[in-house]
Copies of this chain bind each other. A is one copy, B any other.
Amino acid sequence: MPASYAYLGPEGTFTEVALRTLPETATRELVPYVSVPAALDAVRGGEAEAAFVPIENSVEGGITTTLDELVAGEPLMIYREVLLSITFALLVRPGTKLTDIKTVTAHPAAQPQVRNWLRQHLPEAVWESAASNADGARLVQEGRYDAAFAGEFAAARYGLEPLVTGIHDAENAQTRFVLVGRPARPAAPTGADKTSVVLWQRDDHPGGLRDLLGEFATRGINLMLLQSRPTGAGIGNYCFCIDAEGHINDRRMAEALMGLKRICLQVRFLGSYPRADLRPAEVRPPLPGTSDEEFVAAADWVARCQDGRF
């Protein structure tokens, strides 16, 4: 296996900061790629062992480019997740004052996170999108724009200074990143895990989605994310990216996935992996009969019934 991790570049973005929180990066080469598809294709093509990309944001919701790449194409699997709090700094060339700023730039994903701040403090500033927040900082360094929203850590790299720090429209603004590799055996359960799947319905009828979600609910499994994504077959045709609490080796999750496999047109397993928040799955309100032991005991009982030994 090549000992390199691909990530959504360039260097000096929140993605790189999040990636470096994983201890194993100390012994890996970290290679920036220009886009999420490029980073994931590096894994599919065997150039990289894994790819590290953003997948969910507490302001913007699911990162659609990443979800669409995981939904389609050669299957990949999620092995790790990282949560990073996101606050922006307004980076300027040394000496620039707030009143000097006519143009601001950043990656389009930053816009909804600084919109209110802009409306209050720089209502006249013209927004120009950059390929990344780091690239926006570079364009400010080159004098093309007056200010860039980026991580404060990017200032030094581009000879800029943070004029304002701690900018975020929503409290607790966080981005979730995932480490994605080729399919293999998931890591063993840690007791605080999540499972990601993509579901395609057989057909569109009243109660169809309710029945899919019932496979989780009936077994006491809580959902953490439900993001619909177009199938490409026209308006109104969606598949569903779902994160659920628990590990595929948990009996209740295995049974829920079997139920989905029976009733869905297609199910794509995207992995079971440790939760970044380390919280164990809560079965709330406490549903009786949802532990592994109870599932095993119930299976034994049915087997004994089938044998006439109950």
Q: Which residues from chain A sit less than 8 Å from chain B, CB to CB? A: 37, 56-62, 64-65, 68, 83, 108, 112, 115, 128-129, 131, 170-172, 174, 176, 204-207, 209-211, 213-214, 216-218, 220-230, 232-238, 283-285, 287
Contact = CB atoms under 8 A, between A and B. Distances in A.
Contacts of A237: 58
Contacts of A227: 228
A170 B232 contact: yes
16 contacts: A57-B235, A58-B237, A59-B232, A60-B64, A61-B230, A83-B235, A174-B235, A206-B216, A206-B223, A207-B216, A207-B218, A209-B213, A210-B210, A211-B217, A213-B213, A226-B238
Determine the main DSSP class of A at the interface with B. Answer: mixed
Given A210-B210, A220-B206, A228 B230 contact: no
Nearest to A217: B207
A81 B187 CA distance: 47
A58 B230 contact: yes
Given A210-B213, A216-B206, A226-B209, A235 B112 contact: no
Nearest to A67: B61
A227 B211 CA distance: 17
A185 B306 CA distance: 61
B209 A176 contact: no
Contacts of A211: 217
Copies in the complex: 2
Nearest to A59: B230
A222 B65 CA distance: 28
Given A172-B233, A206-B284, 9 more contacts: A58-B234, A59-B230, A61-B238, A62-B228, A129-B129, A205-B222, A209-B226, A210-B213, A228-B228
Nearest to A57: B230
A209 B60 CA distance: 20
Contacts of A224: 236
A123 B287 CA distance: 54
A232 B60 contact: no
Contact of A210 (B129, B205, B217, B235): B217
B206 A210 contact: no
A204 B216 CA distance: 14
Contacts of A131: 128-129
Contacts of A285: 205
B223 A209 contact: yes
Contacts of A226: 209, 226, 228, 238
A287 B167 CA distance: 52
Nearest to A108: B108
A214 B171 CA distance: 33
Nearest to A281: B206
A5 B240 CA distance: 35
